[in-house]
């Protein structure tokens, strides 16, 4: 079963690289084969699917539809344009802006909120938006490990290691992982300056756009506040964030429908849902669940630990860079869930604190998703948004941005964590 699962997984990725237009169908077909072959029993399908992420994307997409229609993204684009000398600095500021937001709310929600602003900016400057939107996506993933509420893996570590929100900033008399992530983020600015060095067109004078409806903006702000607040409430259901996003989306639809006395926007908001992205994620959740059920994730974890042996530096190095490589292709949630107790046992046998390896695992697994366009849900959402607006994104397009971002950010964090926590 393991061999069959691995072969199917490799074939799926090869087909998605060769035929990017059909990614959702390829992932869903592979998922059906996994279920039919018994690699993932039908009884486990529902619990394998990350309903929280799917609901978050659905609810946020609906609110973002109204947000775009209100004109607010264009107004925010006007503001950023007025503060930038050329297109390169607009792109850099948009990426940093997305990263700051993503430190406090889910990466996917960040992309769905910020990317429309990026599209509005690119239309005004008449430049291809692929580079900017992908930079927004990878920057969002980068900052996910900065705080307890920035990413699912951060929440998992916090719960497992009994860490609170402030422990990510300062813990046991030492600076926490937040500073490793922020140093990595700063290191990506020169990378962006190189990647977008040809974006030298000056920013033309802009006139501020008039916003015609402030309700969607208010709902987005309320969503951010609600997501942050929910993260501080102990023992909330796994589906909490998704429910928050969907409830606020429904409220937005109801208020708009009653106020305007028509259902045109309601129908349009549903039609603009990116079902391709949702289908791709659904298929990937099932496939990764099958790999986990077959024991491949556990095998990978065992190999990493055995390769490190009793040498802490070697083990730390393998954990960080091995996690980057694995998370480029495998969902980091089951991987992190598997590795945490393994690392606890290993560090106990070595007689050292586990936090160095915990933080190394978190940084590597969170950032590794930026290696490929399907390595993280936020990347899938960003690519889907571009394709729904008529822009094709190849693996090469994504790797050109994702790989240098990842390598630089991980390297800086890797050095920082060893110096501070070893």
Residues 87/122, Cβ–Cβ less than 8 Å? no
Mean pLDDT of the chain: 85
Between 192 and 161, the more confident residue is 192
pLDDT, tens only, 83-99: 788 889 989 988 988 88
Domain boundaries, the chain: 23-421
Between 296 and 318, the more confident residue is 318
pLDDT of residue 388: 86
pLDDT, tens only, 258-289: 887 878 878 888 887 878 778 887 888 898 88
pLDDT, tens only, 171-189: 889 999 999 999 999 999 9
Q: What percent of the chain has pLDDT over 90?
A: 27
Query: Which H, E and C letters describe the chain, residue by residue?
Result: CHHHHHHHHHHHHHHHHHCHHHHHHHHHHHHHHHHHCCCCCHHHHHHHCCHHHHHHHHHHHHHHHHHHHHCHHHHHHHHHHHCCCEHHHHHHHHHHHHHHHHCCCCHHHHHHHHHHHHHHHHHHHCCCCHHHHHHHHHHHHHHCCCCCCCCHHHHHHHHHCCCCHHHHCEECCEECHHHHHHHHHHHHHHHHHHHCCCCCCECCCCCCCCCCCCHHHHHHHHHHHHHHHHHCCCCCCCCHHHHHHHHHHHHHHHHHHHHHCCCHHHHHHHHCCCHHHHHHHHHHHHHHHHHHHHCHHHHHHHHHHHHHCCCHHHHHHHHHHHHHHHHCCCCHHHHHHHHHHHHHHHHHHHCCCCHHHHHHHHHHHHHHHHHCCCCCHHHHHHHHHHHHCCCCCCHHHHHHHHHHHHHHHHHHHHHHHHHHHC
pLDDT of residue 255: 92
Nearest CA-CA partner of 122 in 110, 135, 109: 135
Residue 63 pLDDT class (50, 70, 90 cuts): confident
**What residues have CB less than 8 Å from 207, skipping those under 6 apart?**
78
pLDDT of residue 416: 96
Residue 331 pLDDT class (50, 70, 90 cuts): low
Judged against a pLDDT cut of 90, whether residue 413 lies above it is answered with: yes
What phi, psi does 331 have (nearest 5°)?
A: -55, 130
387-280-103 Cα angle (round to 5): 80
Instruction: Output the six-digit token pair for 336.
Output: 């992190």
Task: Choose the most confident range, by mean pLDDT, from 29-38, 195-204, 371-380.
Answer: 29-38
Judged against a pLDDT cut of 90, whether residue 407 lies above it is answered with: yes
Judged against a pLDDT cut of 80, whether residue 398 lies above it is answered with: yes
Nearest CA-CA partner of 148 in 172, 183, 186, 181: 181
Residue 298 pLDDT class (50, 70, 90 cuts): confident
Residues 360/316, Cβ–Cβ less than 8 Å? yes
Hey, which residues does 86 pair with through a beta bridge?
A: 202
CA distance 68 to 123: 14
pLDDT of residue 394: 86
């Amino acid at each position: 079963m393991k061999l069959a699962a691995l072969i199917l997984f490799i074939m799926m990725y090869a087909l998605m690289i060769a035929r990017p237009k059909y990614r959702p169908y390829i992932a869903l077909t592979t998922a059906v084969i996994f279920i039919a072959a018994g690699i993932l029993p039908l009884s486990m399908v529902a619990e394998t699917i990350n309903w929280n992420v799917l609901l978050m994307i659905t609810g946020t997409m609906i609110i973002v539809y109204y947000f775009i229609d209100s004109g607010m993204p264009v107004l925010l684009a006007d503001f950023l344009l007025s503060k930038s000398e050329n297109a390169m600095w607009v792109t850099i500021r948009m990426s940093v802006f997305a990263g700051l937001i993503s430190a406090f709310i889910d990466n996917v929600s960040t992309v769905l909120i910020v990317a429309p602003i990026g599209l509005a900016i690119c239309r005004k400057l008449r430049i291809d938006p692929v580079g900017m939107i992908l930079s927004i996506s990878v920057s969002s993933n980068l900052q996910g490990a900065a705080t307890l509420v920035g990413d699912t893996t951060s929440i998992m570590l916090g719960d497992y290691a009994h860490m609170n929100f402030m422990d990510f900033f300062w813990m046991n008399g030492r600076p926490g992982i937040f500073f490793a992530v922020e140093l990595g983020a700063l290191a990506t600015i020169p990378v962006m300056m190189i990647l977008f060095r040809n974006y030298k067109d000056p920013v033309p004078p802009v006139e501020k756009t008039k916003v015609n409806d402030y309700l969607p903006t208010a709902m987005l702000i309320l969503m951010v506040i609600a997501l942050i607040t929910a993260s501080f409430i102990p023992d909330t259901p796994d589906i909490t964030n998704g429910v928050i996003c969907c409830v606020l989306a429904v409220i937005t639809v109801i208020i708009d429908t009653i106020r305007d006395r028509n259902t045109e926007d309601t129908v349009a908001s549903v039609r603009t849902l990116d079902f391709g992205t949702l289908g791709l994620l659904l298929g990937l959740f099932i496939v990764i669940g099958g790999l986990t059920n077959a024991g491949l994730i556990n095998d990978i974890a065992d190999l990493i630990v055995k390769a490190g042996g009793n040498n802490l530096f070697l083990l730390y190095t393998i954990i960080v860079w091995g996690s980057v490589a694995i998370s480029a292709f495998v969902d980091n949630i089951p991987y992190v869930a598997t590795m945490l107790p393994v690392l606890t046992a290993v560090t106990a046998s070595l007689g050292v604190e586990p936090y160095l390896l915990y933080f190394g695992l978190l940084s590597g697994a969170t950032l590794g998703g930026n290696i490929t366009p399907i390595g993280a849900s936020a990347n899938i959402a960003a690519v889907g948004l571009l394709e729904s607006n008529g822009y094709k994104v190849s693996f090469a397009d994504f790797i050109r941005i994702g790989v240098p971002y990842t390598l630089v950010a991980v390297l800086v964090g890797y050095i920082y964590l060893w110096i501070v926590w070893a």
